[in-house]
Amino acid sequence: MPQGFIVKALSGYYYVLPEGANIREIDTITCRARGVFKKKNISPLVGDQVMYELTENGEGTVTEILPRTSELIRPPISNVNLVVLVFAVTEPVLNLQLLDKFLVHIESTGLDVLLCFTKHDLLAENEEAGSGQLTVAEFDQIRKLYEEIGYAIVTTSSKMHNGIGAVQDALKDRLSVFAGQSGVGKSSLLNEMIRGIDLETNAISQRLGRGKHTTRHVELLPLESGGYVADTPGFSQLDFMELEAEQLGSCFKEFVPLAEECRFRGCLHQHEPNCKVREAVEEGRVAASRYDHYLLFLTEMKERKRRY
């Protein structure tokens, strides 16, 4: 039975690239999934290595899903080893609370993350600051904060063709996924990186301050340097259905070494005495913004638990 790799999923169909084939030279095989998967509440995902069998009409049926090395729920994709988290520095306004929420979800998966800040050309110079626009100096402080936490960061401008090579180098020979808020320029960035594609992009709604959902399914796109990248639907809302409150602290990288010195095992870094995370916040060794977001997320998780 032949083996393949799901590169696209749409409306109940799975597009499988045969093992060893080059997607630029060979058409994918359009497959349905066996009914047994539905009975077991299992769905094939983009990124899955699968076994399949051909049917008489030239299509196929996915018969087996091989073991996964990773699995994401939002976006639904497997076997990823790098998440490129894309946020614009403006248009829409850079939302650090939402950025930290995405980082929590990625950290909970154990995957590597690259922070990519787009539309760098739209930053205001200090003397031009006004109307809430992020300045170069303000962004430099944000970049410094996340670099000190330990995140790899690239800045790009599709308009100015800057930073594209740095992103390509990071993605080489990996299965990567682009994730982030709608309208931040993910599709524009991919259009710059991959010759011959023309992903739909939409301008930001000035009234609402957010973009339209231009990508409606998950699809892997081949990189000329090797590897694949997924363009995925943007998300403006995330919940914490997959996490317990006790796990949240471990998803803030800078909390982890401090938590080992807390007085109580399982410390929630909220009201407990001799909490080393709170001490670090008071001493300025942990950013107050990050701790404030942690408390917001913790409250959200506790309220969710009470509702259910």
172 labelled as ligand-binding? no
Structure tokens at 281: 């916040």
Domain containing residue 131: CATH number: 3.40.50.300
On whether both 155 and 200 belong to a single domain, the answer is yes
Q: Give the end of a domain, one of 231, 254, 279.
A: 231
Asked if residue 117 lies in contact with residue 147, where contact means CB atoms within 8 angstroms, the answer is no
Q: Looking at 123-247, which runs of residues are DSSP E strands?
A: 152-155, 174-179, 218-222, 227-231
Spatial CB neighbours of 165, under 8 Å, sequence gap ≥ 6: none
86 labelled as ligand-binding? no
120 labelled as ligand-binding? yes
Q: Give the end of a domain, one of 37, 67, 97.
A: 67
Helix (H, G, I), strand (E, B) or coil at 173: coil
Closest CA to 171 of 113, 120, 87: 113
On whether both 40 and 164 belong to a single domain, the answer is no
110 labelled as ligand-binding? no
Domain assignment present for 240 = no
Q: Which DSSP helix (H) or strand (E) runs through 36? A: helix 35-39
Structure tokens at 161: 């063709």
Domain containing residue 256: CATH number: 1.10.40.50
Distance CA 6, CA 8 (A): 6
On whether both 296 and 169 belong to a single domain, the answer is no
Domain assignment present for 190 = yes
118 labelled as ligand-binding? yes
262 labelled as ligand-binding? yes
78 labelled as ligand-binding? no
43 labelled as ligand-binding? no
275 labelled as ligand-binding? yes
- C-alpha distances out from residue 14 to 5, 40, 47, 291, 298, Å: 10, 18, 11, 42, 38
Domain that holds residue 9: 3-67
121 labelled as ligand-binding? yes
Q: How many domains does the chain have?
A: 3
188 labelled as ligand-binding? yes
How buried is 194 (Cβ within 10 angstroms: 0-12 exposed, 13-18 middle, 19+ buried)? middle
Domain assignment present for 10 = yes
Residue 123 sits at the vertex; the CA angle it makes with 92 and 203, to the nearest 5 degrees, is 35
205 labelled as ligand-binding? no
234 labelled as ligand-binding? no
172 Cα distance to chain centroid? 17
Whether the model clears a pTM of 0.95, i.e. scores above it, the answer is no
Domain assignment present for 58 = yes
Per-residue pLDDT of the chain (308 residues; tens, 9 = 90+): 899 999 999 888 999 999 988 777 678 999 999 988 888 888 999 999 999 999 988 899 999 999 999 987 767 889 999 999 999 998 888 999 999 999 998 898 889 999 999 988 888 887 555 556 789 999 999 999 999 999 999 999 877 778 888 999 999 999 998 887 777 777 778 888 887 666 554 443 333 333 443 445 788 888 887 889 986 654 545 667 778 889 999 999 999 999 999 999 889 999 999 999 999 999 999 999 999 999 999 999 988 766 65
181 labelled as ligand-binding? yes
